Amino acid sequence: MVDAFSFRERPVASLRESGVRVWPVGSLLRAIADSLEARFNPVAVQGELAGFSRAASGHCYFSLKDGQGQIRCAMFRRAASLLDFSPRDGQLVELRGRLGVYEPRGELQLVVESMQQAGQGTLFEQFLQLKARLEQEGLFDTARKRPLPVMPRAIGVVTSLGAAALHDVVTALQRRAPHIPVVIYPASVQGAQAAGELRGAVLKAGERRGTDQVDVLLLVRGGGAMEDLWAFNDEALARAIVASPMPVVCGVGHETDFTIADFCADMRAPTPTAAAELCAQPQGSWLSALDQVFSRLQNGVDRQMQSHNQRLDWAASRVSQPSHLVTRQQARLAGIAQSLNHAMRSTLRREQLRLQALSSDLPREITGSLQRSRHQLERAKLRLELLDPKLVLQRGYAWLADLQGQPITAANMTHIGQPVRATLADGQVDLTVSARRLI
């Protein structure tokens, strides 16, 4: 048996000589973290909250415990903003996240990506509740869904740049329709941020439709567990799919996988590759159809040429002596010229007579108009003279006003001693009110 004290006293060199690897602390912690990542993550765990706190940065720190132990947890601001309840100490919750090592302290830590109250139901129950609610709102109605374009100008793809689904889609499109451009709108397809990024990518595709000329949008991801596909069960993403200005094809997971996005999309495909195949007919099919159309056009042209040739032969057989036809046409032209000459002379004669009549009536009309205008002017002048206030003043009346020129039309507008001015027919007189009598 080796004595523990004597083992501690051994020099480091003896440990190396015995074949035991000597780890730097940081390297050992990173190796432990890699092992945890490879074996456990992602992980789901249930327990009771303890020491819950929310920092000013928005990050949350707490412990999750039960009767056998506890683990330190951190929930960063983005994931914490998605909480639909206020966590409190002693509350039983279910967490989903990734195990890791907090290297500065050498502590085991669970980085929480989502939290829900235990007892709210499993993910499948939440899925069924959301599905029933959106179905009642009409988001799944087949009458609302749009047909896919037969010949899209461009095809949009919403998925992760590192996803195998993107490779499958691009490969299928290159094989079937290499002439159709593909526009990629990258977004995470798993994790706490995935639902928001997927929704943003769908909205961006709709906003850039006129620029990118995308006529159909593919929303794709490979298979996985329900937790892995949970971002495609997001309500906001579902509403963005329904509001998309172009049809959306959802190819998420495998044939047996169903998400809310599948029900909201205009068409559901069992796999990402199938989604690509639904949007792009094989180039060979179009080339074959073009060959058929060209053949029909060629046959139609040949038939038209044959018909015109027959008509030409028939016309040539009737025109045995072309000089007779020319003679008839010349006689016809002579008749038309004579009729036209007669019509022109008749029209010219009528216009001359009309012009003569107008010439004789014009002086009389001008004279009458001048006389009527003169009478109207004299009557207006007479009425204007009758309205001249000087005529009234010449009959012995006067116009009273104060020294500011304001007219005085009533006795009660004056007061004793007030200076006034009377305007007569030939001038003005300044007066002073010495008395007034009201009638």
Q: What is the pLDDT of residues 65-87, one digit of tens each?
A: 887 888 899 999 999 988 888 88
* 379 occurs within a structural domain: no
pLDDT, averaged across the chain: 82
Residue 287 pLDDT grade (very low, low, confident, very high; cuts 50, 70, 90) = low
- Written as one string, the DSSP assignment of 262-286 is HHHSSEE-SSHHHHHHHH---HHHH
Identify whether residues 167 and 257 lie together within a single domain: yes
Of 97-106, 157-166, 242-251, 258-267, the least confident: 97-106
Average pLDDT over residues 242-250: 95
pTM of the model: 0.44
Which pLDDT score is estimated for 61?
93
C-alpha–C-alpha distance, residues 268 and 249, integer Å? 6
Which pLDDT score is estimated for 2?
40
User: Are the C-beta atoms of 263 and 140 separated by less than 8 Å?
Assistant: yes
C-alpha–C-alpha distance, residues 260 and 59, integer Å? 30
Identify whether residues 176 and 277 lie together within a single domain: yes
Higher pLDDT, 402 or 200: 200
Identify whether residues 186 and 255 lie together within a single domain: yes
Tell me how long the chain is: 439
Higher pLDDT, 220 or 16: 220
Identify whether residues 109 and 172 lie together within a single domain: no
What single letter denotes the amino acid at residue 376? Q
Which pLDDT score is estimated for 289?
63
Higher pLDDT, 262 or 225: 262
Identify whether residues 166 and 276 lie together within a single domain: yes
Which pLDDT score is estimated for 1?
40
Identify whether residues 109 and 178 lie together within a single domain: no
Identify whether residues 168 and 258 lie together within a single domain: yes
* 135 occurs within a structural domain: no
Residue 208 pLDDT grade (very low, low, confident, very high; cuts 50, 70, 90) = very high
SS3 114: strand
* 73 occurs within a structural domain: yes
Identify whether residues 186 and 243 lie together within a single domain: yes
Q: What is the pLDDT of residues 111-124, one digit of tens each?
A: 899 998 875 445 67
Residue 188 pLDDT grade (very low, low, confident, very high; cuts 50, 70, 90) = very high
Identify whether residues 92 and 212 lie together within a single domain: no
Of 15-19, 166-170, 271-275, 323-327, the least confident: 15-19
* 112 occurs within a structural domain: yes
Residue 8 predicted with pLDDT over 50: no
Higher pLDDT, 146 or 253: 146
Identify whether residues 106 and 45 lie together within a single domain: yes
* 343 occurs within a structural domain: no
Identify whether residues 160 and 272 lie together within a single domain: yes
Which pLDDT score is estimated for 3?
43
* 319 occurs within a structural domain: no
User: Are the C-beta atoms of 176 and 281 separated by less than 8 Å?
Assistant: yes
Token output for 404: 């500011």
Give the residue from 264, 283, 302 where a domain finishes: 283
Residue 171 pLDDT grade (very low, low, confident, very high; cuts 50, 70, 90) = very high
User: Are the C-beta atoms of 78 and 97 separated by less than 8 Å?
Assistant: no
Q: What are phi and psi for residue 324, nearest 5 degrees?
A: -65, -40
Handedness of CA 405, 408, 413, 415 (dihedral sign): positive
* 371 occurs within a structural domain: no
Strand partners, 182: 155
Q: What is the pLDDT of residues 397-410, one digit of tens each?
A: 787 888 888 888 88
Which pLDDT score is estimated for 411?
83
Which pLDDT score is estimated for 374?
82
Domain extent for 424: 392-432
Average pLDDT over residues 358-381: 75
* 130 occurs within a structural domain: no
Number of domain units in the chain: 3
